[in-house]
Structure formats: C-alpha cells, structure tokens
Amino acid sequence: MFELRVCEKVRALGLEPELWLGTDQPDALDVSFRVPRGKRSELWGTDEKDWASPVLLARSFRWPIEPECDRRFLVVPEHRAQVPGYLTDLRTELTGRTDPARPFKVVTEKQLLTEIRRALARQGGGSCAR
C-alpha cells in the first residue's frame, strides 16, 4: 500500500509519522509527521494518491481542514510521475480548484523524501520527537 510505504520511509528518516488509514477520502490525510525547525517543529501533512487519471484526481481532490498543517504535500507514486504529462496535467487541473488558505505542493514520493532530508539537514539531521 502506497501510504504505508511512504510512512515507513519517513520513519526510516528518524521521524514519527502518524497514519490516518481507514479515512482515505478526497478530504483525508494519509500521513502526518513533525519536522524540527529551530526550537519548535512543523507539522507536515501528506495525502498519497495513486490515480491513473491526473484530471479526475484534481477534480476530486480537497485538502482536509484538520489537522492544520504547516506544510502540505499531495504525493504521487513515481510510476505515475513517469507518465508523460501526468504531473503537468495534475498541476494544471488543480489550478483554481484548491483553497489558497491551504496551499500544498504536488510531489513524487522521492521528492517528498528529498524535502524532508533537506529540512533535517538544516537542523543538523537527527530525529524529531512529537
């Protein structure tokens, strides 16, 4: 399962992800975790989606109101991103369909892990407690 794979990879980076399994609807997070930032931490939320059609995904996608996240990511698997035009079509279809008060970034699984590694490197690496 895509969400479990992302969760395990986040855990392998030393973070403590929280799964939101069983609630996966267009308005539910799949994984959330805290990333250190100075003396506090940021709550990062992800929603993993593996849809064949980027257009249908964009048309049905809504970011959840709770929990309130500092950073948000719509994560797609690498095999979808390798389909020519997939990410471009997804981002284009999302334009104007999302709440500007809850911006999120469309990334692949690998890009998400790179974002986490960069954030951890800025803090000197290490893990983060809740």
Model pLDDT, residue 81: 95
CB 54 within 8 A of CB 94: no
User: Model-level pTM?
Assistant: 0.83
Model pLDDT, residue 27: 47
CB 31 within 8 A of CB 3: yes
CB 21 within 8 A of CB 48: no
Model pLDDT, residue 107: 96
Report residues of the chain scoring pLDDT below 70: 21-30, 124-130
Q: Render pLDDT for 72-109 as a digit per residue (tens, 0 to 9).
A: 999 999 999 999 999 999 999 999 888 887 889 999 99
Token digits of residue 112:
């998400």
Model pLDDT, residue 114: 95
Does the bond joining 64 to the residue before it have cis omega, within 30 degrees of 0?
no
- Cα Rg of the chain (Å, integer): 14
Token digits of residue 50:
């593996």
Burial of 103 by CB count in 10 Å (0-12 exposed, 13-18 middle, 19+ buried)? Answer: exposed
